[in-house]
């Protein structure tokens, strides 16, 4: 035990509704609204010193829980499970460094709460583990922030000895083919992070399935709110250099045409990179390889822009262990929804996946451990967005600033609900807008995640749940 160790003694939970300015279409789902869960945790250090930390995550129902069940039912379950976790954190008794507390909570308390929640429910109504992790991330982020705040230090400075009493060997094991050559003993997350954080990050723009590429796509229902609508206008205004294309995964002709249309716009405006995201809708690797081969043969300049392919296949890897070497032989293939944790990253690597899309919405703890495991095994990294507004944007971009990503960070909250982050943008203006193709986190300073909450004039709704102190 260390004098810097913490225990959670209180929790409060808030729900903040957000409406999109335009629909966000991805895979089979369309997002027009989202509820952000925000948590405040109070922690006590071993010497009795106390502090509060904050975390926030959008509860993106369609992404975490694709299902035929009514949206309102799934949204209600996610909120109710968050309420359950707000009660569980002060009662669980875990202590240590934030990452140690987070992993112990995920491994024991969260697993138990998730199993208890699903007990007796029909399989079709069971809460997916990915959804449970997203609910948990709200509190996990707050633990990391609180640890830094109570110790008066930026939390990324603490992912090493002497702050941590347990090295990575306590959390991670190498893949079987590396068991004799790789050890995590004496290693800490800092060993796999950038030596210094990057203040400016290339910003990836999301081209949703309903987004207008050119004037032919306009319906007349577009908002007149001063923000661009057409892709070319977004590129010109924000100086964009990287575009992520949302595809259907069940309509090869549409997907190919979508890549080509976006690709031609990208070429015309000297965009550097594209990526294609199928959002878990593909079951046969041939679907992806045929699109890639056609692009290679018929549109080689667009094919050359494709930096990687993201998550074509169902996200439950254990249920769908599809060998994907044919895809990754053509372009790097990144786990996203499937990368629940480092164990799933290990399984993905064995099936032929070559990269990992990290997300703070699957917990800061889990993202760091997945980063370390992937780095140690030669996998490439990205930090992907959950269309993060408000506080959720800050840990998300900080992870990208410290992680050795393949190219910058995806950030698209300013596309779909820019007004939601108006209060935070007054304090961190360059983090909530994209200029010259970048976001800038240099205003983030101070302990924890450097939110500078005292300067952010946001009025919170009534507390939905409080527990402990």
Taking alpha carbons only, the member of 352, 356, 450 closest to residue 398 is 450
Specify whether 78 is located in the same domain as 205.
Answer: no
Q: Is pLDDT above 80 for 409?
A: yes
Specify whether 260 is located in the same domain as 160.
Answer: no
Specify whether 241 is located in the same domain as 154.
Answer: no
The model's pLDDT over 185-222, given as tens digits with 9 standing for 90+, comes to 999 999 999 999 999 999 999 999 999 999 999 999 99
The model's pLDDT over 121-160, given as tens digits with 9 standing for 90+, comes to 999 999 999 999 999 999 999 999 999 999 999 999 999 9
For the entire predicted model, the pTM comes to 0.96
Specify whether 411 is located in the same domain as 367.
Answer: yes
**Residue 125 domain-assigned (yes or no):** yes
Least confident of 189-193, 221-225, 284-288, 430-434: 221-225
Specify whether 301 is located in the same domain as 197.
Answer: yes
The pLDDT confidence band at residue 285, using thresholds 50, 70 and 90, is very high
Mean of pLDDT values over 437-455: 97
The CATH code of the domain that includes 12 is 3.30.390.10
Structural domains of the chain, count: 2
String of DSSP letters for 39-69: EEEEEEETTS-EEEEEEEEE--HHHH---SS
pLDDT of residue 27: 74
Mean of pLDDT values over 295-306: 98
Q: How far is CA 80 from the centre of its chain?
A: 21
Specify whether 133 is located in the same domain as 249.
Answer: no
Specify whether 232 is located in the same domain as 357.
Answer: yes
Mean of pLDDT values over 288-297: 98
End-to-end CA distance of the chain: 23
Specify whether 206 is located in the same domain as 104.
Answer: no
Q: How many residues does the chain have?
A: 469
Specify whether 11 is located in the same domain as 158.
Answer: yes
Q: Is pLDDT above 90 for 12?
A: yes
The residue range of the domain holding 41 is 6-176+464-468
Q: Positive or negative, the Cα torsion across 259, 333, 60, 358? A: negative
Q: Is pLDDT above 80 for 468?
A: no
Average pLDDT taken over every residue of the chain:
96
The pLDDT confidence band at residue 227, using thresholds 50, 70 and 90, is very high
Contacts of 340 (CB under 8 A, 6+ apart): 129, 130, 133, 362, 366
Contacts of 284 (CB under 8 A, 6+ apart): none
Specify whether 264 is located in the same domain as 397.
Answer: yes
Q: Is pLDDT above 80 for 286?
A: yes
pLDDT of residue 30: 86
Specify whether 202 is located in the same domain as 162.
Answer: no
The CATH code of the domain that includes 324 is 3.20.20.120
| Percent above pLDDT 70 for the chain | 100
Specify whether 72 is located in the same domain as 171.
Answer: yes
Residue 35 and residue 157: Cα distance in Å, rounded?
31
String of DSSP letters for 190-242: GGGS-SS--SEEEEEEEE-TT--SSGGG--S----SSS--SHHHHHHHHT--E
The model's pLDDT over 247-267, given as tens digits with 9 standing for 90+, comes to 999 999 999 999 999 999 999
């Amino acid at each position: 035990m260390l004098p810097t160790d913490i225990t959670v003694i209180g929790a409060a939970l808030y729900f903040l509704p957000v409406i999109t300015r335009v629909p966000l279409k991805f895979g089979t789902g369309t997002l027009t609204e989202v509820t952000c869960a925000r948590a405040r945790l109070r922690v006590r250090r071993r010497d009795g010193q106390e502090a509060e930390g904050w975390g926030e995550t959008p509860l993106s129902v369609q992404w975490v829980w694709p299902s035929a069940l009514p949206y309102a039912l799934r949204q209600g379950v996610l909120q109710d499970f968050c309420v359950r976790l707000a009660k569980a954190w002060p009662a669980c008794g875990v202590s240590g460094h934030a990452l140690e507390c987070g992993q112990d909570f995920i491994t024991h308390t969260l697993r138990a709460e998730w199993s208890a929640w699903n007990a007796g429910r029909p399989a079709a109504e069971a809460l997916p583990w990915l959804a449970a992790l997203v609910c948990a991330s709200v509190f996990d982020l707050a633990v990391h922030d609180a640890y830094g705040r109570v110790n008066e230090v930026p939390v990324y400075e603490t992912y090493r000895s002497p702050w941590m009493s347990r090295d990575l060997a306590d959390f991670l094991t190498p893949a079987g083919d590396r068991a004799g050559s790789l050890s995590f003993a004496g290693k800490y997350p800092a060993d796999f992070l950038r030596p210094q954080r990057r203040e400016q990050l290339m910003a990836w723009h999301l081209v949703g399935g309903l987004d207008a590429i050119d004037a032919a796509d306009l319906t007349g229902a577009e908002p007149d709110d001063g923000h661009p609508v057409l892709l070319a206008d977004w590129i010109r205004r924000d100086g964009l250099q990287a575009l992520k294309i949302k595809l259907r995964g069940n309509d090869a002709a549409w997907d190919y045409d979508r890549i080509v249309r976006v690709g031609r716009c990208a070429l015309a405006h000297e965009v550097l990179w594209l990526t294609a995201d199928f959002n878990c809708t593909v079951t046969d690797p041939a679907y992806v390889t045929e699109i890639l081969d056609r692009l290679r043969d018929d549109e080689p300049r667009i094919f050359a822009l494709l930096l990687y392919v993201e998550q074509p296949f169902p996200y439950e890897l254990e249920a769908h262990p599809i060998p994907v070497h044919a895809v990754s032989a053509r372009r790097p293939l990144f786990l996203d929804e499937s990368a629940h944790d480092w164990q799933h990253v290990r399984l993905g690597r064995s099936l032929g996946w070559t990269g990992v899309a990290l997300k703070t919405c699957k917990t800061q703890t889990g993202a760091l451990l997945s980063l370390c495991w992937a780095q140690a095994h030669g996998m490439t990294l990205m930090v992907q967005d959950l269309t993060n507004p408000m506080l959720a944007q800050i840990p998300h971009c900080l992870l990208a600033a410290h992680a050795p990503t393949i190219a910058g960070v995806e950030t698209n909250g300013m596309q779909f609900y820019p007004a939601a982050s108006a209060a935070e943008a007054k304090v961190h203006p360059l983090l909530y807008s994209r200029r010259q193709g970048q976001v800038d986190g240099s205003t983030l300073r101070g302990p924890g995640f450097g939110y500078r909450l005292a300067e952010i004039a946001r009025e919170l709704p009534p507390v939905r749940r409080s527990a402990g102190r």
